């Protein structure tokens, strides 16, 4: 048996689906709105999504409705994830690195990153939140 793979949708498409589901629309009705169009911004968003990329997003929409979906990360979420990854890696090597010079460099990196993030008032889960 194969694993069911969840697809990733742009935030505005996920919002449109959730708007229609909150209005008690079923998958067939959502697909019909995506194909034929309808009134309102949510219908327009779905219509635009399924006609982009030569129609390949239609299959993605069907999969999302049947198998569920994840939301695409926003630009800010992607940056936070990269900062968190780098920070975590540097924290580890600052404590467990083999070379003294590398440990010192990484300690400085960690301290500098925390200073900048705190000074700017940015909260990043796993770093300073």
pTM given for the model: 0.60
pLDDT band of residue 45 (cuts 50, 70, 90) is very high
Calculate what percentage of the chain has a pLDDT beyond 90: 44
Q: What is the mean pLDDT of residues 106-125?
A: 90
User: Who's near 128: CB < 8 A, 6+ residues apart?
Assistant: 114, 117, 118, 122
**Domains of the chain, residue spans:** 7-71, 75-120
Q: What is the mean pLDDT of residues 25-52?
A: 90
User: Who's near 63: CB < 8 A, 6+ residues apart?
Assistant: 5, 7, 69
Q: What are the φ and ψ backbone dihedral angles of 9, each rounded to 5 degrees?
A: -115, 150
**Token pair for 5:** 């793979």
**Token pair for 21:** 């589901």
**What is the average pLDDT value for the chain, to the nearest integer?**
88
Does residue 2 register a pLDDT over 70? Answer: no
Q: What are the φ and ψ backbone dihedral angles of 68, each rounded to 5 degrees?
A: 80, 175
Q: What is the mean pLDDT of residues 51-59?
A: 80
């Amino acid at each position: 048996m194969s694993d069911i793979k969840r697809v990733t949708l742009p935030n505005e498409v996920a919002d449109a689906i959730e708007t229609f589901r909150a209005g008690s629309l079923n998958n067939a009705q959502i697909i019909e709105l995506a194909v034929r169009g309808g009134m309102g911004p949510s219908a327009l968003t779905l219509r635009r999504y399924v006609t982009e990329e030569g129609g390949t997003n239609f299959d993605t929409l069907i999969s999302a409705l049947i198998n569920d979906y994840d939301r695409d990360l926003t630009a800010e979420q992607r940056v936070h994830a990269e900062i968190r990854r780098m920070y975590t890696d540097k924290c580890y090597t600052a404590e467990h690195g083999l070379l003294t010079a590398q440990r010192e460099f990484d300690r400085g990196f960690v301290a500098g990153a925390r200073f900048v993030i705190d000074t700017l008032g940015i909260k990043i889960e796993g770093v300073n939140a």
